[in-house]
Structure 1
Amino acid sequence: MDTDYIGTCWHCGSRLAAVDYGRETRCLDCDKDTRVCRNCRHYAPGRANECLEPMVERVLAKDRANFCEWFEPADRVPQGGTSSPGEDLRAAAEALFRR
Protein backbone atom coordinates (compact mmCIF):
# COMPACT_ATOMS: atom_id res chain seq x y z
CA MET A 1 0.00 0.00 0.00
CA ASP A 2 1.37 3.43 -0.98
CA THR A 3 1.42 6.09 1.71
CA ASP A 4 1.28 9.72 0.64
CA TYR A 5 3.63 11.55 2.96
CA ILE A 6 2.77 15.20 3.49
CA GLY A 7 5.30 16.29 6.09
CA THR A 8 8.11 15.45 8.45
CA CYS A 9 8.46 15.23 12.22
CA TRP A 10 9.81 18.46 13.73
CA HIS A 11 12.08 16.50 16.06
CA CYS A 12 13.50 13.52 14.16
CA GLY A 13 12.63 14.21 10.51
CA SER A 14 10.59 11.03 9.97
CA ARG A 15 8.09 11.20 7.11
CA LEU A 16 4.48 11.70 8.23
CA ALA A 17 1.19 11.01 6.43
CA ALA A 18 -2.10 12.86 6.94
CA VAL A 19 -3.25 10.29 9.53
CA ASP A 20 -0.15 11.05 11.62
CA TYR A 21 -1.35 14.58 12.51
CA GLY A 22 -4.15 13.78 14.96
CA ARG A 23 -4.55 15.78 18.18
CA GLU A 24 -3.22 12.91 20.28
CA THR A 25 -0.96 11.34 17.66
CA ARG A 26 2.75 10.95 18.28
CA CYS A 27 5.65 10.24 15.93
CA LEU A 28 6.30 6.51 15.75
CA ASP A 29 10.08 7.02 15.69
CA CYS A 30 10.70 9.59 18.47
CA ASP A 31 7.36 9.59 20.36
CA LYS A 32 6.95 13.40 20.11
CA ASP A 33 3.58 15.08 19.47
CA THR A 34 2.96 15.73 15.77
CA ARG A 35 0.16 18.32 15.72
CA VAL A 36 2.38 21.08 17.09
CA CYS A 37 3.41 24.55 16.00
CA ARG A 38 6.89 23.37 15.06
CA ASN A 39 5.29 20.99 12.51
CA CYS A 40 3.10 23.71 10.97
CA ARG A 41 3.84 25.56 7.74
CA HIS A 42 2.89 28.82 9.50
CA TYR A 43 5.56 28.38 12.21
CA ALA A 44 7.98 31.32 11.93
CA PRO A 45 10.52 31.91 14.71
CA GLY A 46 11.21 35.59 15.11
CA ARG A 47 7.70 36.67 14.11
CA ALA A 48 5.05 37.81 16.56
CA ASN A 49 3.70 34.72 18.32
CA GLU A 50 6.20 32.73 16.16
CA CYS A 51 3.47 32.39 13.52
CA LEU A 52 2.80 33.84 10.06
CA GLU A 53 -0.95 34.05 10.80
CA PRO A 54 -1.75 37.36 12.53
CA MET A 55 -5.14 36.18 13.87
CA VAL A 56 -3.91 32.98 15.54
CA GLU A 57 -4.44 32.41 19.26
CA ARG A 58 -1.22 32.40 21.25
CA VAL A 59 0.33 28.99 21.90
CA LEU A 60 3.14 28.97 24.45
CA ALA A 61 4.49 25.43 24.04
CA LYS A 62 5.44 25.18 20.36
CA ASP A 63 6.43 21.52 20.73
CA ARG A 64 3.23 20.30 22.47
CA ALA A 65 -0.03 19.21 20.85
CA ASN A 66 -2.62 21.97 20.55
CA PHE A 67 -6.01 22.79 19.02
CA CYS A 68 -4.90 25.53 16.59
CA GLU A 69 -7.38 25.84 13.72
CA TRP A 70 -4.68 27.24 11.39
CA PHE A 71 -2.52 24.09 11.55
CA GLU A 72 -1.20 22.87 8.20
CA PRO A 73 1.59 20.27 8.04
CA ALA A 74 4.97 21.55 6.90
CA ASP A 75 7.38 19.48 4.88
CA ARG A 76 10.73 20.69 6.14
CA VAL A 77 13.75 19.03 7.65
CA PRO A 78 14.25 19.74 11.36
CA GLN A 79 17.04 22.20 12.10
CA GLY A 80 19.01 22.48 15.29
CA GLY A 81 17.71 19.28 16.87
CA THR A 82 15.75 19.80 20.05
CA SER A 83 17.07 23.29 20.81
CA SER A 84 14.81 26.29 20.44
CA PRO A 85 15.35 28.92 17.73
CA GLY A 86 16.45 31.38 20.43
CA GLU A 87 19.11 28.97 21.66
CA ASP A 88 20.37 28.46 18.10
CA LEU A 89 20.64 32.22 17.54
CA ARG A 90 22.44 32.75 20.84
CA ALA A 91 24.95 29.97 20.05
CA ALA A 92 25.62 31.52 16.62
CA ALA A 93 26.16 34.97 18.17
CA GLU A 94 28.52 33.59 20.81
CA ALA A 95 30.47 31.72 18.13
CA LEU A 96 31.21 35.05 16.44
CA PHE A 97 33.17 36.28 19.47
CA ARG A 98 35.14 33.12 20.28
CA ARG A 99 38.81 32.97 19.46
Structure 2
Amino acid sequence: MSYTFTCWSCKKDTEKEDKIFRTDHCPHCYAAMKSCMNCSYYDAYAHNECKEPMAEYTKDKERANFCDYFKCGTNAAEGPNAAEIAKAKLDALFKK
Protein backbone atom coordinates (compact mmCIF):
# COMPACT_ATOMS: atom_id res chain seq x y z
CA MET A 1 0.00 0.00 0.00
CA SER A 2 1.45 3.33 -1.04
CA TYR A 3 0.34 6.71 0.25
CA THR A 4 1.48 10.32 0.32
CA PHE A 5 2.92 11.69 3.54
CA THR A 6 3.01 15.48 4.08
CA CYS A 7 5.64 16.75 6.51
CA TRP A 8 4.43 19.19 9.18
CA SER A 9 7.75 21.06 9.09
CA CYS A 10 8.52 21.66 5.41
CA LYS A 11 5.02 20.88 4.01
CA LYS A 12 6.55 18.73 1.25
CA ASP A 13 5.02 15.45 0.11
CA THR A 14 6.80 12.11 0.27
CA GLU A 15 5.59 8.74 -1.03
CA LYS A 16 5.59 6.03 1.66
CA GLU A 17 5.28 2.34 0.85
CA ASP A 18 4.85 0.98 4.36
CA LYS A 19 4.14 1.88 7.98
CA ILE A 20 5.86 4.90 9.54
CA PHE A 21 8.42 3.87 12.14
CA ARG A 22 9.91 5.90 14.99
CA THR A 23 13.24 6.15 13.15
CA ASP A 24 11.76 7.51 9.89
CA HIS A 25 12.59 11.09 8.93
CA CYS A 26 11.44 13.46 6.21
CA PRO A 27 13.90 13.20 3.29
CA HIS A 28 13.57 16.95 2.64
CA CYS A 29 14.08 18.53 6.09
CA TYR A 30 14.94 15.51 8.30
CA ALA A 31 12.08 16.19 10.73
CA ALA A 32 10.76 13.12 12.55
CA MET A 33 7.85 11.51 10.69
CA LYS A 34 6.38 9.72 13.73
CA SER A 35 5.81 12.79 15.88
CA CYS A 36 2.74 14.39 17.42
CA MET A 37 2.91 17.18 14.85
CA ASN A 38 2.23 14.65 12.05
CA CYS A 39 -0.51 12.81 13.93
CA SER A 40 -4.19 13.25 13.11
CA TYR A 41 -4.91 13.30 16.87
CA TYR A 42 -2.70 16.35 17.50
CA ASP A 43 -4.68 19.38 18.69
CA ALA A 44 -2.93 22.31 20.35
CA TYR A 45 -6.10 23.12 22.31
CA ALA A 46 -6.90 19.61 23.60
CA HIS A 47 -5.78 18.13 26.93
CA ASN A 48 -2.10 17.13 26.54
CA GLU A 49 -2.44 18.54 22.99
CA CYS A 50 -3.95 15.22 21.87
CA LYS A 51 -7.53 14.24 21.00
CA GLU A 52 -6.84 10.59 21.90
CA PRO A 53 -7.77 10.33 25.62
CA MET A 54 -5.77 7.13 26.24
CA ALA A 55 -2.48 8.43 24.81
CA GLU A 56 0.38 9.12 27.20
CA TYR A 57 1.67 12.69 27.55
CA THR A 58 4.48 13.58 25.16
CA LYS A 59 6.52 16.62 26.15
CA ASP A 60 8.23 17.43 22.83
CA LYS A 61 5.63 17.24 20.06
CA GLU A 62 8.22 17.66 17.29
CA ARG A 63 10.40 14.68 18.21
CA ALA A 64 9.84 11.03 17.37
CA ASN A 65 7.93 9.04 19.99
CA PHE A 66 6.64 5.57 20.82
CA CYS A 67 2.92 6.43 20.83
CA ASP A 68 0.73 3.42 20.00
CA TYR A 69 -2.09 5.69 18.83
CA PHE A 70 -0.11 7.51 16.12
CA LYS A 71 -2.20 7.96 12.99
CA CYS A 72 -0.65 9.85 10.11
CA GLY A 73 -2.96 12.46 8.72
CA THR A 74 -4.08 16.05 8.44
CA ASN A 75 -3.76 17.90 11.72
CA ALA A 76 -3.92 21.30 13.35
CA ALA A 77 -0.22 21.88 12.74
CA GLU A 78 -0.80 22.27 9.01
CA GLY A 79 -2.68 25.53 8.91
CA PRO A 80 -5.08 27.92 10.57
CA ASN A 81 -7.55 26.35 12.94
CA ALA A 82 -11.25 27.11 13.28
CA ALA A 83 -10.66 29.73 15.98
CA GLU A 84 -8.23 31.69 13.79
CA ILE A 85 -10.61 31.55 10.83
CA ALA A 86 -13.55 32.73 12.98
CA LYS A 87 -11.46 35.58 14.43
CA ALA A 88 -10.45 36.71 10.94
CA LYS A 89 -14.11 36.73 9.85
CA LEU A 90 -15.14 38.76 12.92
CA ASP A 91 -12.31 41.22 12.38
CA ALA A 92 -13.43 41.69 8.78
CA LEU A 93 -17.05 42.14 9.86
CA PHE A 94 -16.33 44.76 12.54
CA LYS A 95 -13.48 46.49 10.72
CA LYS A 96 -13.52 50.29 11.17
TM-score by length of 2: 0.70
CA RMSD of aligned residues (A): 2.6
Distance 2:34 2:68 in 1: 11
The unaligned stretches of length 5 or more in structure 1 are 81-88
Identity of aligned residues (%): 32
Letter in 2 for 1:36: S
Please point out which of 11, 14, 33 is paired with 2:12: 14
TM-score by length of 1: 0.68
Per the alignment, residue 72 of structure 1 pairs with: 71
Pick which of 7-16 and 27-36 moved more. 7-16
After TM superposition, the structure 1 = structure 2 runs for residues 1-99 of structure 1, keeping only pairs within 5 Å, are: 4-16=2-14, 17-19=16-18, 21-75=20-74, 78-79=78-79
Higher Rg: 2
Shift of 1:79: 3.1
The unaligned stretches of length 5 or more in structure 2 are 92-96
